[in-house]
Structures are given as structure tokens and as C-alpha cells.
Structure 1
Amino acid sequence: MSTTPTSPPSPTTPGTPGPPGTATGAGRAHAAPPRQRVLAQARFEVGSLLRNGEQLLVSLVLPAMALVGLHLSTAPSLGPGDRTALAVAGVVALCVVSAAFTSQAIATGFDRRYAVLRYLGVTPLGRGGLVAAKVLATLAVEVVQIALIAALGLALGWRPPVAGLAYAVLFVVLGTWAFVALALLLAGTLRAEAVLAVANLVWVVLLAVGGVVVPRTELPAGVSHVIGLLPSAGLGDGLRSALVAGELNLSALLVVLGWAGVATALAARLFRFDD
């Protein structure tokens, strides 16, 4: 494959601005403030997601279809209480798991493989800024997802208890923290192909028996207490308590917080920016 030769750069006369970000005789370019760098990277990641048709299908269309299907059907059992409210809570939990864990793990795993993380890590953005941008981008995507699910739920007759809305926001934020940390732990320790397989497998397992959409109390006897220790069950139980009963589920909160703390510590210790 032939390449087009490039001419050597022409000298820059004093006082004449050079290419963006380069030093000139008139002065030096400065990096943007940390907050601006993080927000710019977060906007880039959100834009990349919203331009991806496959990700839009997984992030918006499938959760909406799941909510309508659960509303119209009687199976699987969602436990006692208003079925539409239980379905909304479960689908919101599913949105958090999908956006914060599955999508982030796969995206980060392939960014790591193609050295994107390594290059961004040595820019003014820094490694901490990169992680912060990923968390903000995930929360932004979840806002769009949850707004769609909430609007659809209201159209189907869901009337959330006002007292529980703040508790629901708390669980969404803490659940995002826990699952982004788990995603980074996975993506930072395995090769990209393994991350792709494991992230999708975990998503399927959590959806089926992780207490996300179907409450753990509706699963076979003898496993509900074990399932209750999973971050997915803690998130699902917390959102159901908030959006159905308007209550704060303290035990579920402790489960999610525990996973967030442990996963963050492990990711900080084991994450490798190079594949």
C-alpha cells in the first residue's frame, strides 16, 4: 500500500499562530480546566453511543418493549403489588445494569485493546478524568432511558409514590457507581474478546436469576437469600421498594454500597490501561 509523502512542516514566524494546541512565539496553548475536559470527554462518549444504532436498540427499544410486554402479560410473576409499578422498577434496574455494566465493560475493553485508554491516560484528561467522564456519560444515557421508561409507565397507568422518587434516584446513582466499577474491573483485567463474552453472559444470568426484573422472592425457594447478596438484586429490591411502596430499603442499600466499595478498590488496584 502506497502512502502520500508529507512535506516537512514550514517554519512559523514569531507572532504567527501555529496549529491548534502548539506553542508559538506569541505564547503557549494551555489545557482546558479539569471540569471542562471531563465534560467534553463525557459528551463525546454519549454522542458515540447515540450515533450507534445497535446501542440505541439495546438501550431504548428493548427496555420499552420489555415494559409493555410485562404490562400486558401475567407471566412471569412479579410478586404482590401493582404489576405495572413492579415492571417499571425492574426495567429501570435493567437499564442501569445494561448501561453501567454491559455497555461500559465492552466499550472500555475494546478501547483498551486499541490503545485508546493508554493515549487518553497521558493527555491532560488523565486517567481519573477518563473514569469520571465514563461515569457521567453513563448517567446521561440512563437519564434518557429512565425518562423514556417513566413516560411509558405513566401512559400505561403507573402512578409512582412521590416519597419514593428520591430513594429511586439514590439507588440509580449508587447502582451506576457499583456497576461501572465492576465493568472497569472486568474490562481492565481481561482481553477484549473475553470481556465481550463475559459481559453478555453476566447480563443474561442477572436478567434471568439476578433479581433484576423478576424479584428474587419469586425465584425458587432456597436461593432467594443468596441472590439477595448480588448487586443486581440489591438494585432491583431497592427500586421496587422506592417506586412501588415509596420506602427506603436499607438492606438493599447496604448491598449496593458494599459492592460499589469493593469493586472500586479492586478496579483501582488491578485495572491495566495496556492490553
Structure 2
Amino acid sequence: MSTGTHGAGTRAGAGTYAPAPGAAPLTRMIAAQTAFETKLLLRNGEQLLLTVIIPSLLLVLFSTVDIVDTGAGAAVDFLAPGVLALAVMSTAFTGQAIATGFERRYGVLKRLAVSPLPRWALMTSKSFSVLATEVLQIALLAVIAFALGWSPHGNPFAVVLLLVLGTAAFSGIGLLMAGTLRAEATLAAANLVFLLLLMGGGVIVPLDKFPDAAASVLGLLPISALSEGLRDVLQHGAAMPWSALGILAVWAVLGLGAAGRLFRWE
């Protein structure tokens, strides 16, 4: 009797009643979190307004209506690179700062921080989500720009490098803001910075329209470096815009470094 019971227990333990708890592989956790973060971004109406509708409307409006003097050539050839830069900023900086700020306020980050997903993997998932959203943005804006008569040319590798460094720079600044300010302050500051950089970052208005001293300072901003760098490649055919890449690399190192050091999870 004892032997039979022991045998049954052994068979049960080796089969149905032998759970093997443990975390999923890290790559699967990052992929799942990335998909979740991307769905949140795409389902948020305010984020879609910021990341898709506003850049698209600006591209169509300023390309078809003679409001700003963009110099020689078709207006869309000047505007399309700037609007691509704006799309990167809207997702990597403004959208990410606001979303992360409120996740921090409501304790979402605090709970995720004690999950099997490491903190660096959570930040990696957010970065991948931003990149996935940007791919969709850039594809849509490119289709609109081509319909408006855009004729880009230049080194595709330089374009990708500019976009990646621009994303890193804006992500660092956005995460720094979200991890150090209150959610309401992050919301106000991120939207204000978005508007200021839209007007003074070479996106719509050429930097040479500003006084020389102001233009020199504005040219050091990440949005200016990204928009001018993309313009140098896509409009003027530059092989590699080293100056713009250098400015973006400095912002990326400073922003991500400061965010890594100062970010507070609660």
C-alpha cells in the first residue's frame, strides 16, 4: 500500500504536478514588452496627433502654400527632411517623456522594476518601441512627400545614422525629463519644448532667417542638427554630414548618461 502510494506520487510529480517556474528568456521578454509599448503608443489618440497628424499637416500645408521662403528649389525638398526630424523628436522626446512621466506617477514603472524584466531591458524595450513607431511615421511622411513632388538623393546609410543618433539624443533628453520631473511638469515642459524647437530648430523656418548669433546657437540644438543633417544629405547630396552627426552624438551621450544616473523610478 505504501509502495503504491509512493509510486503514484512519483508519477504525478514527474508529470502533471511538476511545475517549473522561472522567467521567460530575456529576448522573449524584451520582444513582448516592445510589442506592448508599441501598441500603447499607437492606441493613444494624443500621441497619434503629435507624432503623425501634426507632422503630416505641416508637410502638406507649407509645401503647397507659399508661407515661408525656403530658398531655391521645391519647398517640399526643404521641408521633408525637417518634418522627418520633427517626427523623430515627437516620438523619441515628447511622446516618450509624457508617457514615461505618467507611468512613473501611477506606479507602473515601480511595478515593472520588480518584475523579472531588468530595468535596462525595460529601457531597451521602450527604445525599440520608439524605433518601430518612427519606421511607420517615416514611411507615411515619405509617401506624402513623394506625392507632393519630393525628389531626395544622397547616402542612405548617412540618413539611417542621423535618424538613429537623433533618436538616441531625444530619447535621453525625454527620459531625463520624465525621470526627474513631476508628470504634470513633464507634460507642460515637453509640449513647450516641442513648440519652441518646431519654430526655432530649422524644421520649417531656415536657420539663416535668424540673426547670425541666434542661428549659431540654434544650430547646436539636436533638432537643428538632425534637420540640417538630413537636408544636407537628402537635398544637397552630402556624403556624410560629420558636423551634424557629431552634435547628435554629444547630445546622445549627455542625455542618456544623465538619464541613466538621475532617473528616479518612483
Q: What is the TM-score with the length of structure 2 in the denominator?
A: 0.91
Is contact 1:165–1:246 with CA below 8 Å preserved after alignment?
Answer: no
The residue matched to 1:30 in structure 2 has which SS? coil
SS of residue paired to 1:222: helix
Q: Using the alignment, how far apart are the partners of 2:132 and 2:208 within structure 1?
A: 31
Matched residues, percent identical? 46
Distance 1:62 1:206 in 2: 14
Greater mean alpha carbon deviation, residues 98-107 or residues 221-230 = 221-230
Report the residue type matching 2:181 in the other structure. Answer: L
> What are the Cα deviations for residues 35-91 of structure 1, in whole angstroms up to 9, with x where unaligned?
211111111111112122232222222211111111112222223443211111011
Contact 1:34 1:125 in 2 (8 A): yes
Question: Is 1:58 the equivalent of 2:89?
Answer: no
How many Å apart are 1:219 and its aligned residue? Answer: 2.1
Query: Could you tell me which residue of structure 1 aligns to residue 193 of structure 2?
Result: 202
1:271 aligned residue = 263
Partner of 1:86: 78
Matches within 5 A, 1:58-207: 58-161=50-153, 163-207=154-198
Matches within 5 A, 1:237-256: 237-247=228-238, 248-256=240-248
Does the aligned pair in 2 maintain the 1:59–1:145 contact within 8 Å? Answer: yes
Deviation by residue 1:222-249 (Cα, 9 ceiling, x = unmatched): 2111111111111111111111112121
Inter-partner Cα distance in structure 1 for 2:192 and 2:48 = 20
Rounded to whole Å, the distance in 1 between the matches of 2:209 and 2:71 is 6
State the alpha-carbon separation in 2 of the partners of residues 75 and 209 from structure 1. 16
- In 2: Cα distance, 1:125 partner to 1:183 partner: 21
2:155 aligns to what SS in structure 1?
helix
Secondary structure of 1:75's aligned partner: coil
Q: Which has the larger radius of gyration?
A: 2
Deviation string 1:18-38 (CA, Å, 9 cap, x unpaired) is xxxxxxx41322212212111
Deviation at 1:14, TM superposition (A): 5.1
Q: Pairwise CA RMSD of aligned residues?
A: 1.6
User: Relative to structure 1, is the Cα distance of residues 149 and 119 closer, same or farther in structure 2, using a 3 angstrom cutoff?
Assistant: same
Q: Secondary structure at the match of 2:168?
A: helix
Matched with 1:22 is none
C-alpha separation in 1, matches of 2:149 and 2:48: 25
**Secondary structure in 1 matching 2:212:** coil
Alignment match, 1:21? none
**What is the letter of the counterpart of residue 242 of structure 1?**
V
Unmatched 5+ residue regions in structure 1? 1-12, 18-24
Q: Aligned partners of 2:91, 2:255: CA distance in 1, in Å?
A: 17
Contact 1:231 1:256 in 2 (8 A): yes
Residue 192 of structure 1 deviates from its aligned partner by: 0.5
Q: Matched residues in 1 for 2:215 and 2:91: separation? A: 25
Report if the CA contact (8 A) 2:178-2:186 is conserved: yes
Aligned to 2:227: 236
Runs of at least 5 residues in structure 2 that lack an aligned partner in the other structure: 1-11
Instruction: Give the number of the structure whose residues are more often helix, by fraction.
Output: 2
Deviating more after overlay: 75-84 vs 122-131:
75-84
Residue 30 in structure 1 maps to residue 22 in structure 2 = yes
Q: For the residues of structure 2 that align with 1:47 and 1:99, how far apart are their CA atoms?
A: 14
Separation in 2, partners of 1:267, 1:62: 28
CA distance in structure 1 between the partners assigned to 2:209 and 2:27 by the alignment? 45
* Cα contact 2:50–2:95 (8 A) shared by 1: no
AA at the equivalent of 2:37 = E
